[in-house]
Amino acid sequence: MAEGQARILFVGDLVGSVGRHTLLDCLPLLRERYEPTFVVVNGENVAGGLGITPKVAVELLRHGVDAITLGNHAYHRREIYSYLDTEPRIVRPYNYLRSQPGKGACVVEKDGVRLGVINLSGNLFLKAGRSAFTEIEPAIKELGDVEHILVDMHAEATSEKIALGWLLDGRVTAVLGTHTHVPTADARVLPGGTAYITDVGMTGPRGGVIGVKREQAIESLVTQMPVRFETSQEDPWLMGVLVRCTTPRRADSIEQILMARPPGSDRAPTRPAAQAPS
């Protein structure tokens, strides 16, 4: 493969086992259609809707996921802490405190192409010990000589994500937003060659409220009282993007992927999707 040539499939927050199974059911189709060099997924909600466990991470990696990014739910499950320190292919936000478990950047290699993956957390409405906008510099430096860099900017505020896209335009291959679980309609390649989207959305149930059973989310908002949240199983979709590249650290295109879980899947008792992909 020529230097810099790569196709990077990035999949938004996997929500619960339904999100995990949706990914695994869609992956063969996506591999056939897009022939991705790399598959990177955000796994911060993959264990029961909150956090990730070593068992689930191993399952994802075993199915050909090349790297896993996280976010504000990174530390929800204690059993992941030591795994974050030892498994090189999983990253939590780089701009967390250095004393917190895990690291924020990694490099994976395929077909002679090295992809650096950086996870960042926004600083507005989310707890992150250091600034995403200053810590991105040492993070890029730490990756060394790599053909491509993907930055997962896990943030609530659209302004922070857009600003980071402009800051890094022409220096990294892609700045991809996660966390809100809702895909935005602004995927584009910025003038300097960086692929950008404010949020890729989630891979999980569209029938809920950002992953939670809708009746529980509504009850909580109506009553203003504590309600136990469970992951919705209704209408699961995969949401992600494909970034195509032919030149190091530059994207030729970014294509949004919104795909219903294939009907007839027997992995879990989820209902088939209500409508065709748009």
Which residues form the interface with Fe ion (CB under 5 A)?
A: 13, 44-45, 71-72, 179
Q: Residue 142 or residue 234: which is nearer to Fe ion going by CB?
A: 234
Q: Give the whole-angstrom CA distance, residue 176 versus residue 197.
A: 5
Q: Residue 147 or residue 152: which is nearer to Fe ion going by CB?
A: 152
Q: Closest Cα partner for 114 from 41, 5, 12, 253?
A: 5
Which tokens sit at 113?
């192409």
73 in active site: yes
User: Minimal CB distance to Fe ion: which residue?
Assistant: 13
8 A C-beta contact, residue 42 and residue 150: no
Q: Residue 135 or residue 199: which is nearer to Fe ion going by CB?
A: 199
8 A C-beta contact, residue 34 and residue 9: yes
Q: Residue 5 or residue 231: which is nearer to Fe ion going by CB?
A: 231
Which tokens sit at 157?
């505020």
- To Fe ion, the closest distance from the beta carbon of 242 in angstroms equals 20
The amino acid sitting at 251 is A
Terminal CA-CA length for the chain: 32
The active-site residue, picked from 21, 73, 148, 179, is 73
8 A C-beta contact, residue 75 and residue 121: no
- To Fe ion, the closest distance from the beta carbon of 147 in angstroms equals 28
- To Fe ion, the closest distance from the beta carbon of 45 in angstroms equals 4
- To Fe ion, the closest distance from the beta carbon of 202 in angstroms equals 6
Q: Residue 44 or residue 152: which is nearer to Fe ion going by CB?
A: 44
Provide the pairing of β-strand 105-110 with 113-121: antiparallel
8 A C-beta contact, residue 169 and residue 191: yes
Give catalytic residue positions: 73
